[in-house]
Amino acid sequence: MNRRLLFATLPLAAPMAILAGCNMAPKYVRPEAPVAPALPQGESYPVLAAGETRIDEIGWRDFFLDDRLRQVIALSLANNRDLRAAVANVEQAQALYRVQRAALFPAVAATATGSEARTNGLTVDTLSTGIGISSFTLDLFGRQRNLTQAQFQTFLATDEGRKATQITLVAEVATAWLTYAANADLLRVATETLQSREQSLALTQRREAMGIGTRLDIAQAQTALQTARSDVADYKTRLAQARNALELLTGAPVSEAMLADTLGNGGQTLVTLPVNLSSAVLLQRPDVLGAEHRLRAAYANIGAARAAWFPTISLTAALGVASGSLSGLFNSGDFRWNASGNASETVFDAGARSGNLASAKAARTAAVATYEKTIQTAFSEVANALARRGTIDDKLAAQLALTDNAGRALTLSQSRYRNGIDTYLATLDAQRTLYSARLSLVNTRLAAASNMVELYRSLGGGLNAEPARP
């Protein structure tokens, strides 16, 4: 029985094995990257030097040094809905690939039938069982293989999309967490300024009561006080909104223990990253890899469209046993098999095949452009992050010096005002300068921390932990 089954399937296996090598898809050639061969260098950029570790091998748990931030990122990877959708899209693409791949193999169906007929007083029973292959199309010119390859590349592109979503999520959560900390600092500066201006107003009122101040001084002090009070209200709102934005990204409530109440002097991330001069590092970004997989899928679709111009050959085969009684159903003499095939070729289709091929080629052209634009976008993002990295330390040093000088100027101005040397207007101007300098210092520290996060993201870092599956 097994030997007969083997010989019965040989007419199907032999043509498939012989003709499986035909493929009408064009040979894939990776387009040259339409960017400079090296990342930008110059006065605005930091000196780049590759380290022993590639940046895409530095996981987010190693890059982010604050344990509270790590906890928030882990929370987002487990609960963010965009990431859950991206994971589900990968699973769907994988399932569609399995469906398409199944077309490469014949579908085998098992049947069992029985009948009873009565003629002229005689009862005739018929029993039969068998397995068969119904209309299996030989993949002579690679149509099914190219469709399968296209679906496989689509699956890989979808998975790269999931990785890109995860990298972006890690960066967005980190930036939102840092922004919350910065808003806490801004609120503290505004609150301290409000308290200082309340003291200034009280001093001015005492001076006016003593006859050595003016009502204009009081009016100016009250104006400065109300400005600070308005700013406190605004920063309270911004702090609440920053927390709301963070919790939207995490997809779950963030406890107070996970939040930072100050940026401090930094230290939330690594201070340096290994960045190679070659722009080829961009080719490892998930969005670039995803665009390349979609380009490969477009090549395969051209092969499938070309194969439609050639004949198709379909085979059917069946083998089984039949008997007039159940006891004799599996006697060797009751074995039967048959196989047949047919070939067909479309003579006229009103330009359908030409249109499909032209569409596939146009899709490839679009995929090439998308791939090139993705590389250009990646290059621009990295270049912009490096430009900020190369100057942010100077800006931060200048802002620190400005804040220190503004503080000394206010102290001197207040002393001169109390001694009757200057008017209150000079003190008021010094207060405003210091207030603005302190706010700018917080924003500069946020820019420095956010820049490291953006550089890390744009270079493709952040994939050392898989997201939790829903």
What pLDDT is recorded for position 78? 94
What pLDDT is recorded for position 23? 79
- Of the pLDDT bands very low, low, confident and very high (cuts 50, 70, 90), residue 49 is low
- Of the pLDDT bands very low, low, confident and very high (cuts 50, 70, 90), residue 118 is low
How far is the C-alpha of 68 from the C-alpha of 260, rounded, in Å?
8
Domain presence at residue 240: yes
- How far, CA to CA in Å, does 27 sit from each of 272, 295, 298? 41, 12, 11
Contact 301, 146 (CB under 8 A): yes
CATH of residue 36's domain is 1.20.1600.10
For residues 132 and 261, the model is more confident at 261
Average pLDDT over every residue of 459-468: 65
How far is the C-alpha of 404 from the C-alpha of 99, rounded, in Å?
68
**Boundaries of domain holding 292:** 2-113+139-312+353-458
- Of the pLDDT bands very low, low, confident and very high (cuts 50, 70, 90), residue 242 is very high
Residue 350 has pLDDT above 50, yes or no: yes
What pLDDT is recorded for position 352? 85
Percent of the chain with pLDDT over 90: 50
How far is the C-alpha of 434 from the C-alpha of 440, rounded, in Å?
10
Domain presence at residue 105: yes
Average pLDDT over every residue of 352-356: 85
Per the DSSP assignment, residues forming a β-bridge with 312 are 344
Contact 414, 217 (CB under 8 A): no
What pLDDT is recorded for position 273? 81
Residue 327 has pLDDT above 90, yes or no: no
How far is the C-alpha of 150 from the C-alpha of 305, rounded, in Å?
12
Computed on alpha carbons and rounded to an integer, the radius of gyration of the chain in Å comes to: 37
Average pLDDT over every residue of 77-84: 94
How much is the mean pLDDT over the chain? Answer: 83
DSSP symbol at 269: B
Q: What are phi and psi of 327, to 5 degrees?
A: -70, -25
Average pLDDT over every residue of 308-314: 72
Range of weakest confidence among 110-114, 157-161, 232-236: 110-114
What pLDDT is recorded for position 420? 81
Per the DSSP assignment, residues forming a β-bridge with 451 are none
Q: For 145-162, what is each residue's pLDDT tens digit?
A: 888 999 999 999 999 999
Domain presence at residue 30: yes
Domain presence at residue 344: no
Percent of the chain with pLDDT over 70: 79
Task: For residue 338, give both structure tokens.
Answer: 């048959």
Average pLDDT over every residue of 321-344: 54
User: Looking at the 3D structure of the chain, how many domains does it have?
Assistant: 1
Neighbours of 165 (CB within 10 A): 21
Average pLDDT over every residue of 344-369: 84
Q: For 410-456, what is each residue's pLDDT tens digit?
A: 999 989 888 888 888 888 889 999 999 999 999 999 999 999 999 99
What pLDDT is recorded for position 319? 55
Q: For 386-395, what is each residue's pLDDT tens digit?
A: 999 999 999 9
Residue 163 has pLDDT above 70, yes or no: yes
- Give the chain's length: 470
What pLDDT is recorded for position 114? 57
Residue 245 has pLDDT above 60, yes or no: yes
Domain presence at residue 320: no
What pLDDT is recorded for position 5? 33
What pLDDT is recorded for position 185? 97
Neighbours of 108 (CB within 10 A): 12
Q: For 129-141, what is each residue's pLDDT tens digit?
A: 666 566 667 777 7
Domain presence at residue 318: no
How far is the C-alpha of 48 from the C-alpha of 63, rounded, in Å?
18
Domain presence at residue 269: yes
For residues 427 and 469, the model is more confident at 427
Contact 89, 161 (CB under 8 A): yes
DSSP symbol at 347: S
Q: For 5-48, what is each residue's pLDDT tens digit?
A: 333 333 433 444 444 557 778 899 899 989 998 888 888 888 77
Domain presence at residue 119: no
What pLDDT is recorded for position 204? 85
- Nearest CA-CA partner of 128 in 318, 317, 326: 326
Residue 2 has pLDDT above 60, yes or no: no
Tell me the angle at which helices 143-209 and 424-458 cross, rounded to the nearest 10 degrees: 170
CA atoms lying within 13 Å on the CB side of residue 63: 31
